Structure 1
């Protein structure tokens, strides 16, 4: 059904005259007549009766009028849903407690006028599909891990390198250390049950373990961060890695310690992914905010070779 013909029909019904409707629509009376005739052919019904004063809807025309108005309202809503600036900026932060979430909270404080939708997509395949379909506007990810090439229609901008800390319980051998060299972690058991096989963070920790001879275990069920913290607090033989910007809450009785890692500092490389053709007007503001917040990074930091290659 031709929406312009429907719009013309409503204009005639409201004006009561073909000429008045033509003036309101800034078209000729002949164009109005052609549109109405075409609509009547499509519907198989006569919509107007000519009168000395103009035109009046027939019984069929009166029945069609409320539906015609609803069609036009639906069309206007559909157009508004994709009009630049008319919908929220939708950003995937993977989880609510990490660096990406902190960055987006800071952006929201700096740009309160930008309406935001925050989503959390666990795997990169879901994030890439959502970016390509337009379901989201941006996603924080590490790219491009082996076996996870970035499609040509997406872009990635490195926005922040997040240092890792060692998290231990009070009985761990390194609990009292002011810092620990990365190479000195060889021989210690690092337990990370939340590593998702095939994920970009799985590739990151695999590269870290291989380069520095670390033992990173992901065995056992993943009962979430609370269970992880309980186990680390109670098990002197275990420690875990935690991003510097990750914010978790635990009982003071746990006595957990964050120990900075040095020589080199392992950093997790967060990039912002988006579609090349995404026109959302808030995306430039988000990139500018992230660039200003990035800082100079950790001197002598370590990232996997695939992340360094992407940054060049």
Structure 2
């Protein structure tokens, strides 16, 4: 649909006269008439009746008017979403149910003014490229060995050390435990089909497994969280790891258990990445909020992170 024609239709409807609409749009009255006539042909209805008092909306015109306004508002939102200096703060998170998304929700509650666009890129490499190009203003990622040499102008700071938890079904040998140590997990099968080789989370869990002699399996297709939890719920052998801040939803009959891992507690190191010369005012607000909300944990004797995150 021609949005210029829709805009012209709304202008005529608001002013009640073709001549006044033309003046408001800085076009000729003839151009207004042509646009309205073209829109009427597209829709197959008459939108106005010309009278001595001006242009009156027909019944069809009255029905179309609120939708026409919606179209113009949608156009404005679409334009603002990509217009430099006016678009919302665009932030990448690894997943919408994971801890960084929770940090953004808390930020939005504390600072409801700035608009947010939340996107999910595949891995740290894609996130760094998007931050560098300016298509994304900031990204929550774990900065691994390969990513520590960030491109010039890209900044990173640790914002959250998220404890890792064990999830089991009710028949698992550890289901009744309130907490376990990493050493106790040696010999158990920990199933994580979402691990993709070469990603930052694959690097983290490979180092975790090596540090404590764990068996972490990434075999089988990844059908998503719900099928994974269904399998864990029915298994007496399989368990999985999740971050403490991960929002999980499972069927009432699954009776899954989230068990703390301690002595030491493995923590996943979330960092915020941004371009140093990014002028978006909401980025400064976000960075200040994360700095003030930073929780202790980094470097604590009771926690574990890979050497590349220390």
The answer for the alignment partner of 1:303 in structure 2 is: 305
Deviations 1:231-280 (A, max 9, x none): 10011100000100000100121010011000100000000001121111
| Displacement after TM superposition at 1:200 (Å) | 0.4
The answer for the alignment partner of 1:246 in structure 2 is: 246
CA contact (8 A) 1:144 1:307 kept: yes
Report the RMSD for the aligned CA atoms in angstroms. Answer: 2.0
The answer for the alignment partner of 1:277 in structure 2 is: 277
CA contact (8 A) 2:125 2:147 kept: no
Compute the TM-score of the two structures, normalised by the length of structure 2: 0.71
CA contact (8 A) 2:144 2:203 kept: no
1:239–1:248 CA distance, 2 compared to 1 (3 A): same
Count how many residue pairs are aligned between Structure 1 and Structure 2. 232
Q: Runs of 4 or more off by more than 4 Å in structure 1? A: none
Residue pairs, 1:206-285, within 5 angstroms = 206-285=206-285
SS in 1 for 2:281: coil
The answer for the alignment partner of 1:204 in structure 2 is: 204
| Displacement after TM superposition at 1:297 (Å) | 2.5
Q: Distance in 2 between matches of 1:202 and 1:303?
A: 14
For structure 1, the 5+ residue unaligned runs are: 1-61, 67-76
SS in 1 for 2:145: coil
The answer for the alignment partner of 2:18 in structure 1 is: none
Q: Distance in 1 between matches of 2:178 and 2:162?
A: 19
CA contact (8 A) 1:168 1:257 kept: yes
CA contact (8 A) 2:124 2:143 kept: no
| Displacement after TM superposition at 1:283 (Å) | 1.3
Q: Distance in 2 between matches of 1:147 and 1:160?
A: 18
SS in 2 for 1:241: strand
SS in 1 for 2:209: helix
CA contact (8 A) 1:164 1:243 kept: yes
Q: Distance in 1 between matches of 2:164 and 2:219?
A: 21
The answer for the alignment partner of 1:14 in structure 2 is: none
Q: Distance in 1 between matches of 2:292 and 2:286?
A: 10
Which structure has the greater CA radius of gyration? Answer: 1
For structure 2, the 5+ residue unaligned runs are: 1-26, 32-78
Q: Distance in 2 between matches of 1:277 and 1:291?
A: 19
The answer for the alignment partner of 2:109 in structure 1 is: 109
Compute the TM-score of the two structures, normalised by the length of structure 1: 0.71
